[in-house]
Amino acid sequence: MLGTRTTLALAIFIGIAACGDSSGIGDATIPNVVDTFVVSSLEGGPLQAPAAYSIAANGLVRTYETTAFDFAYTTDQGKNYFLPLAVLGLSPRVPLPRPPIARLR
């Protein structure tokens, strides 16, 4: 068990270390921006309405035109979901499951 002086010294040391900026990360250079988009749902939304968002393009995309998006939006029983490409089976890094092969006799 630690003595009272050792515990006090350790608490002071931790307090001093916690107050310093030891992360080495500089100040932000790009300002944060709040932006608002209206996106349609994959389920039940109109086909022409965009239902996905591309971070690279900084905007909405239509899922029937491209798979160059980061996530799509859908609703199910009143709940909202953001679906990444892997969940949609569109990620090049995640192979689609193979359907079972019917065997002929």
Task: Give pTM, 2 decimals.
Answer: 0.57
**Whole-number Å distance between alpha carbons of 33 and 95:** 36
**Inside any domain, residue 99:** no
Residue 62's domain spans which residues? 36-91
- 53's CB contacts (< 8 A; 6+ apart) are 37, 39, 59, 60, 61, 69, 70, 71, 72, 73
**Inside any domain, residue 59:** yes
How many structural domains compose the chain?
Answer: 1
**Inside any domain, residue 63:** yes
Residue 94's pLDDT band, with cuts at 50, 70 and 90, is low
Q: Kindly report, residue by residue over 15-66, the tens digit of the pLDDT.
A: 666 666 656 788 888 888 888 889 999 988 898 899 999 999 989 999 989 8
